[in-house]
Amino acid sequence: MSAVITPFPLTGPRPLQVGFERTELLRILDLYGRMVAAGQWRDYAMDFTRDAASFAAYRRAAERPEVRVEKRPDLRAKQGMWALIGEAGQVLKRGHELAGVLFPLERRLLKVVEG
């Protein structure tokens, strides 16, 4: 029986699909749960391809997604691997950090409370 040693980071062929890390997915699902509680979203879908991982949020199940959060590792060194994409396919925000890309969505949840 011979052991197979995989070097880290992978220097060979690209992985078969891009995915979210646990912390990234927890951050996205936390936002999703708060948007559902606020009555803004009702459904979601995830897609994992060779080039990107995508989380799409829907107002209603039969529509196009209201927003998509995409992770494209190939763009890490350029404009950032994270993108927030609107309903019509326009890039709303791009960046290197997930928190910065999600901020426009989190801002919707802020409410002014008078004291």
State pLDDT tens for residues 13-23: 666 889 999 99
DSSP one-letter code for 74? G
How many whole angstroms separate alpha carbon 22 and alpha carbon 17? Answer: 16
Query: What is the separation, in whole angstroms, between the first and last Cα of the chain?
Result: 70
Per-residue confidence band for 109, with pLDDT thresholds at 50, 70 and 90? confident
How many whole angstroms separate alpha carbon 84 and alpha carbon 67? Answer: 7
DSSP one-letter code for 66? S
**The pLDDT value given to residue 14:** 63
Q: Does the pLDDT value for residue 113 go beyond 60?
A: no
Cβ neighbours of residue 80 under 8 Å, at least 6 residues apart? Answer: 94, 95, 96, 97, 101
Peptide bond into 65 cis (omega under 30): no
Instruction: Give me the residue label for tokens 């803004």.
Output: 40
Q: Are 73 and 81 in contact (CB under 8 A)?
A: yes
Q: Are 97 and 43 in contact (CB under 8 A)?
A: no
Q: Are 87 and 67 in contact (CB under 8 A)?
A: yes
Q: Does the pLDDT value for residue 72 go beyond 90?
A: yes
